[in-house]
Amino acid sequence: MGEVEISGSKNAVLPIMAAALLAEGKCEIMDVPELRDVAVMCDLLRSLGSTVSEDYEKSVVTIETKQISTNEAPYDLVKKMRASILIMGPLLAKTGYAKVPLPGGCTIGARPIDLHIKGFRTMGAEIIEGNGYVEAKAEKLVGCNVYLDSPSVGATENIMMAAVLAEGTTVIENVAKEPEIVDLANFLNKMGARIKGAGTDSIKIEGVEALSSAKHAVIPDRIETGTFMVAAAITKGNILIRNVVPDHVKSLTAKLKECGVVIAFSDDGMIVRGDINPITATDIKTLPHPGFPTDMQSQFMALLTVAEGQSTVIETVFENRFMHVKELNRMGANIKEEGNRATVPGGRTLHGAQVVATDLRAGAALVLAGMVADGTTEVSRIFHVERGYSHFVEKFRNLGAAILRIED
Ligand code: UD1
């Protein structure tokens, strides 16, 4: 049985690092994954005047911001990562002004920031939307009630980070309930914030005067966990996954069990066995947490191409998240795409091919497909995968995969 250790969560650590801007004093963040996105966030914080140290041997990043030297985020960093927008709430709360270019990141849809802006505006900020950037100004943010039209993860985080220093109480409703929201709230509360309700539909934040430094260990990455769970299923393997929070991967566990995968928990972690039963088809529909995560849709689709029977995959979170379909079809999948629905015939024999990682999770899906394909698969633009998976190639090689990173 192979073993793999899950790293800290990318989507938890990025907002937590942005939140460290709010502290008076040095924050120590532990269980930080070694990722390109984390390195970009470190550079972004440095560009604003923070002193940041990165020790990936120990998985620790420390952040201290004695003085914010500029409230404007540089475009060459923001364009590399959409999560850069998360500095907006802390900057606005701490200094009363933020200017952020419109972010880059994965090209999986329009990904507007209207809900972030709605939150800041409701708290009293003046918003200027310029050509390719957005500015927010407020002498002092004021607590208010904000209702999100949809439960955006980033908007929930940004508004929460802005509200911690606002005057009075803010209530955000119809918020995202992802575990990463809870982790961010826990970190902010350690710094002295007063946040209640994270993980439910409504979050209440009582503003405080100032926040102090804090030490925090990031939760394990549930999408990395899910990717290894699917890897065990697709390769008919038997693996032990360490550092898992079972509650965070419930929807995925349920779906994999439906497909015939045997999943058990021990003191050491989660055992995933794809070698006991045949893998059968199932239907999935992505939803905000606790529904099936959009970040696992492409990897799961790779699995369904080789499952017995026909499956349907419906993507409801992003409008353009089937870019892996074309690539999987180049490997012999024969998936039919219609709007936000994909029909996956199943039972296919995949063949090695030259394919392109169009975004982070699509890249992971192609690597999984390559593991069961005949012959060799070459996945290009692999930097997308390295944005969000720590030691991806090494971890898979340790599990027995014949995988090699070719420098270019
Ligand atoms: C976060 C995750 C990303 C994940 C996504 C959904 C991070 C760093 N990234 O991204 O991996 O795929 O959640 O689980 O945590 N939307 C609006 N207006 C807004 C904001 C969002 O319409 O102001 C829409 C988006 O276009 C998208 C949907 O809401 O269709 C979900 O986006 P959101 O939850 O905000 O995702 P991110 O925070 O960008």
Give the pLDDT confidence of 240-272 residue by residue, as tens digits. Answer: 999 999 999 999 999 999 999 999 999 999 999
Q: Tens digits of per-residue pLDDT, 121-179? A: 999 999 998 888 899 999 999 999 999 999 999 999 999 999 999 999 999 999 999 99
Q: Tell me which residue of 117, 16, 120 sits closest to 60, measured CA to CA.
A: 16
- Which of 184, 214, 244 terminates a domain? The answer is 214
* Token couple for 288: 């905000």
Task: Please identify which of the residues 42, 106, 144, 259 carries the catalytic annotation.
Answer: 106
Question: Given the structure tokens 């560009």, which residue do they identify?
Answer: 47
Q: What is the pLDDT of residue 281?
A: 98
Cβ of 407: how many Cβ atoms within 10 Å? Answer: 3
Whether 108 shows a pLDDT value over 50: the answer reads: no
Whether 109 shows a pLDDT value over 60: the answer reads: no
Supply the mean pLDDT for the chain.
Answer: 95
Query: Do 146 and 180 fall into the same domain?
Result: yes
Contacts with 39 (C-beta within 8 Å, 6 or more apart), sequence order:
54
Query: Do 176 and 302 fall into the same domain?
Result: no
Q: Tens digits of per-residue pLDDT, 48-64? A: 999 999 999 999 999 99
362 within domain boundaries? yes
Is residue 27 annotated as a catalytic residue, yes or no?
no
- Which of 161, 189, 214 terminates a domain? The answer is 214
Q: What is the pLDDT of residue 130?
A: 82
Q: Give the model's confidence band at 104: pLDDT under 50 very low, under 70 low, under 90 confident, else very high.
A: low
- Which of 214, 232, 255 terminates a domain? The answer is 214
Answer yes or no: is the C-beta of 23 below 6 A from any ligand 1 atom.
no
Q: Tens digits of per-residue pLDDT, 180-202? A: 999 999 999 999 999 999 999 99
What atom in ligand 1 is closest to the CA of residue 10? 8
Average pLDDT value for residue range 314-335: 95
Q: Tens digits of per-residue pLDDT, 3-15? A: 999 999 999 999 9
Give me the domain span that covers residue 31.
9-214
Q: Tell me which residue of 116, 128, 53 sits closest to 87, measured CA to CA.
A: 116
Share of the chain above pLDDT 70, in %: 98
Ligand 1, atom 31: closest residue by C-alpha: 152
Q: What is the pLDDT of residue 245?
A: 97
> How many domains does the chain fold into?
2
Answer yes or no: is the C-beta of 292 below 6 A from any ligand 1 atom.
no
CA atoms within 13 A on the CB side of 273: 9
Q: What is the pLDDT of residue 111?
A: 63
Query: Do 198 and 64 fall into the same domain?
Result: yes
Share of the chain above pLDDT 90, in %: 92
Question: How many angstroms separate the Cα of 231 from the Cα of each of 130, 301, 307, 329?
Answer: 44, 12, 13, 19
Cis amide bond preceding 290, omega within 30: yes
Task: Return the bridge partners of 8, or none.
Answer: 220
288 within domain boundaries? yes
Q: Tens digits of per-residue pLDDT, 71-99? A: 999 999 998 888 999 999 999 999 999 99
Rounded-to-integer distance, Cα 341 and Cα 325, Å: 11
Rounded-to-integer distance, Cα 85 and Cα 94, Å: 15
Ligand 1, atom 7: closest residue by C-alpha: 11
Phi first, then psi: give them for residue 205, nearest 5 degrees: -125, 120
Q: What is the pLDDT of residue 145?
A: 97
Q: What's the whole-model pTM score?
A: 0.96
